[in-house]
Amino acid sequence: MRWVRLVKKAKKGDKEALLHLVLSEKNAYYRLAYSYMGNANDAMDAMEDMIVKVYENIGKLQDDPAFYSWSKTILANSCKRMLDKQSKLILVDDWQPEHERIDDPATRDPYKTSDGQLDMQSLLLQVNEHQREAIRLKYVHDFDYQTIADVTNVPVGTVKSRIFQGLKKLREYCKGGGIDG
């Protein structure tokens, strides 16, 4: 576990060691940030925020082998804060009265993309926010239950329940005629 030695160096103030740790998992960090933020620019902003917070707080990390779980928790929290701030803003350029919207839901299936494939993002809107987050972390990012519990700050049993209930709700929705298939 060469990276645990890098964590120890980073905790002693070695910026190069910290940079190496972050860069070695940059793709995983990016995918996680993108899954929360939905676009590349905001995902990169969240990653920058995470790097600053990791740098400022690495001395507080007590379990060196948990570095990646800890840093991904910081990233998820950065994303959530950014999304919370964004939800409080309404950009005038983006606002369009309902009657002027071109994309009429009555004329298309909201759960399929233009090529007929299921749109998982839209489908996941059928479950609550906590279930959606747990399902994404498990099946998109392949996190284990303990890591999901760490990232979401809930017990492992709650994570399992959220995933089970969310998948159950999606199965019922798909069977109930919400989407064809």
On the question of pLDDT at 17 being above 80, the answer is yes
Mean of pLDDT values over 55-71: 93
CATH pick for 110-175 out of 3.40.640.10, 3.30.70.1450, 3.40.50.300, 1.10.10.10? 1.10.10.10
Residue % of the chain over a pLDDT of 70: 77
Position 111 scores a pLDDT of 44
User: pTM to 2 decimals?
Assistant: 0.69
Burial 60-82 (b: 16+ CB within 10 A, else e): eeeebebbbbbbbbbbbbbbeeb
On the question of pLDDT at 93 being above 70, the answer is no
Decide: 173 and 126 in contact? Cβ < 8 Å: yes
Task: Give start-end residues of each CATH 1.10.1740.10 domain in the chain.
Answer: 2-87
On the question of pLDDT at 80 being above 80, the answer is yes
On the question of pLDDT at 179 being above 80, the answer is no
Position 11 scores a pLDDT of 92
Position 51 scores a pLDDT of 93
Of 35, 85, 74, the closest CA to residue 52 belongs to 74
Task: Give start-end residues of each CATH 1.10.10.10 domain in the chain.
Answer: 110-175
2-87: CATH topology = Rna Polymerase Sigma Factor; Chain: A (1.10.1740)
Top mean pLDDT of 81-85, 87-91, 102-106, 156-160 is at 156-160
